[in-house]
Amino acid sequence: MSDQAVKRVIIIGAGQAGGEAALRLRHSGFGGDITLVGEEPAAPYQRPPLSKKYLSGELGMDRLLLRPAGVYADENIAFLAPLRAVWIDRANRRVRLEGGRELGYDALVLATGARARKLTLVGADLAGAHLLRTAGDVDAIRPRFVSGARLVVIGAGYIGLEVAAVARQTGLDVTVVEAAPRPLARVTSPEVAGFFLDEHAGKGVRFALGAQPAIIKGKEHVTGVGLADGSEIPADLVIAGIGVNPETTLAQHCALNVENGIVTDAQCRTSDPSIFAIGDCAARPMAHYRNRVARLESVHNAVEGAKIVAAVLTEQSHSVEAPWFWSDQYDLKLQIAGLFQSYTKIVLRGSMKERSFAAFYYNGERLIAVDAVNRPGEYLGAKMLIQTGRTLAPEVIADASRPMKELVAQAQ
């Protein structure tokens, strides 16, 4: 697909992936029409701070924006918001927007993101019961997010624990309810999960693990959360962080291949070669993991997809970067490189007691991921090793007397 063939690009979704794709296309020399369609009224903004500094009030909306709102007009990018795309006509390469307007495209980029899973409990629609996915969600939470309030967080993934950390620092009384037997069950090892459980418990967070919420109690406003075992946790505020579902409605309606996300090839092309998918909505082969198809929810994945599409549409080369993630909780900075899910061995370097360590994950003798807590050197070193397909023997990496930089330089 050459730039000569592509004169009109439509990007549906104005989150991090969509906003980055629009600007990277332009900065890569694409001279055609770019239209960015977003459901939220704001220009593209960062989501990670929502559960951290935006929730705490340290950052305002102006500092969440990826670029100043005027940049899109300056770059001759038509930004249509708040507006939904409702239909894709693949045969005639047209997109219909709500209200009936139709736009033609030569290339279409689906950056539709994901939607927070809703609680399917009686009482989930009461005042004081919230999801946390958008800036609007946080704006609705803030009036009750005050010192002394009783907060129940449902879900102990990264979002839930980040909210719990900010809440404790703000002075709220916090209980986290999690169906799994430990926090972070889907995203890290039992060893690292146990460390974060102890940290939160030490800050006064209570946990109900292996617990199933059954009802949110209250008449007009939340008063508590009833669990399946019959117990009740008093609450003035409930925030659910039980994961997200990829937004694939448009893709399904126009019969693209969808399986836990919109399935793409390594160039982010869907089953229709003129339609691409990037970000949280897309499942793409992972170059550093033998092309295993994965759907990743991260800033890095959003930016990586934008880079790939811009390179493909402008016929430029692009070297794919290994996955990375992060989470901030209290004064702990967790930095993650790689994908840990298929690990067979874990090696610890540093000290959990001193709150500075890295967990290295191996599949056989191959390093596949790291969770680094307050250890930026280990994070950067492991990321470089994964990126370049090199590894270090477990016994070598466990020797904390040798600097990580030195070990990486000698790795094969």
Going from the N-terminus, what domains does the chain have, and what CATH number goes with each? 8-115+245-313 (3.50.50.60), 118-242 (3.50.50.60), 331-410 (3.30.390.30)
Write down the pLDDT at residue 233: 98
Q: Long-range contact list for 326-332, CB < 8 A, 24+ apart?
A: 326/48, 327/158, 327/161, 327/162, 328/52, 328/162, 328/165, 329/161, 329/162, 329/164, 329/165, 329/196, 329/199, 329/200, 330/165, 330/168, 330/169, 330/199, 330/203, 331/374, 332/196, 332/199, 332/373, 332/374
| Spacing of C-alpha 323 from chain mean position | 12
And the tokens for 409?
A: 């330089």
> How far is it, in rounded angstroms, from Cα 143 to Cα 141?
6
Write down the pLDDT at residue 345: 96
Write down the pLDDT at residue 2: 45
Write down the pLDDT at residue 147: 97
> How far is it, in rounded angstroms, from Cα 352 to Cα 358?
9
Q: List beta partners, residue 240.
A: 131, 154
Write down the pLDDT at residue 339: 94
And the tokens for 132?
A: 């946390």
Q: Which residue from 249, 319, 247, 314 is spatially nearest to 278, judged by alpha carbons?
A: 247
Contact 262, 246 (CB under 8 A): yes
Q: Which residue from 8, 15, 16, 17 is spatially nearest to 35, judged by alpha carbons?
A: 8
Cα torsion angle, 38, 86, 280, 333, sign: positive
Question: Could you count the other beta carbons within 10 Å of the beta carbon of residue 352?
Answer: 16
Q: Long-range contact list for 295-299, CB < 8 A, 24+ apart?
A: 295/246, 295/260, 295/261, 296/323, 297/114, 297/244, 298/323, 298/324, 298/325, 299/16, 299/46, 299/47, 299/48
Sheet holding 324-329, edge to edge: 324-329, 332-338, 366-373, 356-363, 345-351
* Per-10-residue mean pLDDT, the chain, length 412: 75 97 96 96 94 94 93 97 96 97 97 95 96 95 96 97 97 97 95 97 98 96 97 97 95 96 97 97 92 92 96 92 94 96 94 96 95 96 94 92 90 79
Contacts of 213 (CB under 8 A, 6+ apart): 119, 121, 154, 177, 225, 226, 227, 228
